[in-house]
Structure 1
Amino acid sequence: MSSFWSAWIIGLTVISLVLLCWLLFGTRKIPVDKDKDTTGHVYDGIEEYDNPMPSWWINMFVISIVFGVFYLLFYPGLGNFKGLLNWTSASEWEADVVEAKSKAESFYVAYANTPIPALAEDATAMRVGKRIFSNNCATCHMVDGSGAKGYPNLTDDDWLYGGSPEQIEATLVNGRVAAMPAWESALSVAELDNLTRYVKSLSQPAEAGENAASRAMQGAEQKYLAMCSACHGESGEGNIAFGAPALNDDTWLYGGREVEIRHSIAKGRRGVMPAQAEILGEQKIHLLTAYVYQLSRQ
């Protein structure tokens, strides 16, 4: 704050206090016409009395002024004057943060060496894990872990990179980057349509059997084996090494309708899971790993 505005605030505050004192003590002994006990104002049959202010009200007024003077002496309120205590809201906040971190640290340390499966059975630890999840993961994976479209469902047993405690922790610590190449330029419209139907049929065994003998499906199968099987597997079982989703179940990351599958094949997909190591730290990730681990086991 500039010196001018600091002086302006100090002057305005001091003048206001002085005027309040004058208003109180300068008008306290104004003579009152004892023959008139009302001001003459009447509204709806109600008359306004002209009684002096009660002593308790005056005393409270005086106390508030005295309090204000001492407050401005000890705490910031007069421009750039920081007060005799040199108190700031920032310093109090920093002290509160240090205290909160100290308490949290002692809590997390108690669980640091607990194995994930055992930790997943601890109700207190899971309550904290749920809060960590809600604050950091729910935007993409939803509050209940069911996942928004394009983000994995954590409540089922279908894991892109594996669902063991070690694999989940690795995902949280390092993050994940998945890339599905676009095949639109390498396929004709008919080939793209046939490949879409073939991928769709992988999750529908009955339909796959009916269509297997058709020449179109045989051609689509060859395209699949040549272009897709390296990541998704020959029968669509997926590959956790690449984070390639299984195509032979009914779990679809980006939607299982033909139009959605076609878009994935034609335009490709790119998924990013941000690394949490620097955001949460080792101890919070340990609890969060246990919480995510137990989501699919409820």
Structure 2
Amino acid sequence: MSDFFNGGWSVYISLVAILGVVFCLWLLWTQRSWLSPNKADEESAHVWDGNITELNTTVPRWWTIMYIALCAFAVGYLILYPGLGSYKGVFGFTAAKQVQEQQQQINERLAPIYDRFREMPIEDIAADDEASSIGQRLFLNNCAQCHGSDAQGSPSFPNLTDTSWLWGGEPEQILHTITEGRRGIMPPHSAMMSPADASDIAQYVRSLNNLAHDPLRISAGKRGYDNACVACHGVDAKGNQLLGAPDLTDGHWLYGSSVAVIVEGIMNGRDNAMPAQKNRLTEEQIRLLAAWVWGLSNNSYD
């Protein structure tokens, strides 16, 4: 409620809240006949069905007192809690803060369960049935939105069940990826080459994977690759895990292998980010999650 991109909305919300309370108090004051509780009911000029007369009945005192109390409650609430635009209230309450406090309480209750995995190697954790069950639940709650419930990914989200790793598939590398997050950037090349040049490179890259390609364009594509791509993907096109540059020869494609998709990536670039989980999960939870992910492509421990 207190987060606004424009200060005008903050002022507008504040005015609506304040004027709402003021209007209720004004309405009660203008209808203050309740101050004379012994006043008799007055007949109005409205008569229905010949003998049913409409009365101007005084509002009950308890009803008015109740509304005054509600107005006082509203004023107190707006002072203590967010409600007046960007004003955060005396208590500084936020829903995000409440969620963090609840998560902290849950983590404290679960700490004894995670204790025995604190110093255990990732490989041993992956072989533990209880740890595997916990790791899978952590994955489904925190990672499946992007990587899928089966961890096989989707366009722009890596498949975690194969052996193709952008940043490395060793336990410590996966642990670092989950903890600190990753950002892989491929710069656009539209300023240094034409779509036809990019298409030649696409033909060359497809040939490295034994996909259908135009053999007459391989030579030009190789020259284009050596000029624009070799610095990140390597002379052999095997990629560079230090940069998150993918292997272009292993048959695994993050966005797709069609010429059009490859050309789009070359011309417009790519920018992928995985958020760090160190502020959402505990160290022990990250270890169990990393072990479960590592085990998806390293199941020889079974």
TM beyond 0.5: yes
In the alignment, is the contact (CA less than 8 A) between 2:195 and 2:263 conserved in 1? no
Deviation at 1:172, TM superposition (A): 0.9
Instruction: Report the equivalent of 1:131.
Output: 137
Instruction: Report the equivalent of 2:111.
Output: 105
Choose from 162, 168, 178 the match for 2:174: 168
Instruction: Report the equivalent of 1:44.
Output: none
Instruction: Report the equivalent of 1:148.
Output: 154
In the alignment, is the contact (CA less than 8 A) between 2:195 and 2:267 conserved in 1? no
Deviation at 1:97, TM superposition (A): 6.6
SS at match of 1:135: helix
Instruction: Report the equivalent of 1:246.
Output: 247
Counterparts of 2:179 and 2:237, CA distance in 1: 28
SS at match of 1:278: coil
1:201-240 to 2 correspondence within 5 Å? 201-204=207-210, 211=215, 214=216, 216-240=217-241
1:10-25 to 2 correspondence within 5 Å? none
Matched, 1:278 2:279: yes
Structure 1 223/99 Cα, relative in aligned 2: closer, same or farther at 3 Å? closer
Structure with larger Rg: 1
In the alignment, is the contact (CA less than 8 A) between 2:200 and 2:224 conserved in 1? no
Structure 1 94/240 Cα, relative in aligned 2: closer, same or farther at 3 Å? closer
Counterparts of 2:144 and 2:264, CA distance in 1: 26
Structure 1 188/116 Cα, relative in aligned 2: closer, same or farther at 3 Å? same
Deviation at 1:95, TM superposition (A): 10
Structure 1 101/275 Cα, relative in aligned 2: closer, same or farther at 3 Å? closer
Instruction: Report the equivalent of 2:264.
Output: 263
Structure 1 134/183 Cα, relative in aligned 2: closer, same or farther at 3 Å? same
Deviation at 1:260, TM superposition (A): 0.9
Structure 1 141/102 Cα, relative in aligned 2: closer, same or farther at 3 Å? same
Q: Which letter does structure 2 place at the counterpart of 1:220?
A: G
Counterparts of 1:96 and 1:268, CA distance in 2: 41
Counterparts of 1:258 and 1:284, CA distance in 2: 41
Choose from 113, 117, 120 the match for 1:114: 120
Counterparts of 1:259 and 1:237, CA distance in 2: 22
Q: Taking structure 1 as the reference length, what is the TM-score of the superposition? A: 0.64
Q: Which letter does structure 2 place at the counterpart of 1:251?
A: H
Deviation at 1:259, TM superposition (A): 1.1
Counterparts of 2:233 and 2:107, CA distance in 1: 44
Q: Taking structure 2 as the reference length, what is the TM-score of the superposition? A: 0.63
In the alignment, is the contact (CA less than 8 A) between 1:175 and 1:272 conserved in 2? yes
Counterparts of 1:187 and 1:99, CA distance in 2: 56
Q: CA RMSD in A?
A: 3.0
Structure 1 244/95 Cα, relative in aligned 2: closer, same or farther at 3 Å? closer
Structure 1 284/98 Cα, relative in aligned 2: closer, same or farther at 3 Å? closer
SS at match of 1:119: helix
SS at match of 1:168: helix
Give the fraction of aligned pairs with identical amino acids, expressed as a percent. 36
Counterparts of 1:94 and 1:155, CA distance in 2: 31
Q: How many pairs does the alignment contain?
A: 211
Deviation at 1:162, TM superposition (A): 0.5
Choose from 152, 166, 188 the match for 1:182: 188
Structure 1 227/98 Cα, relative in aligned 2: closer, same or farther at 3 Å? closer
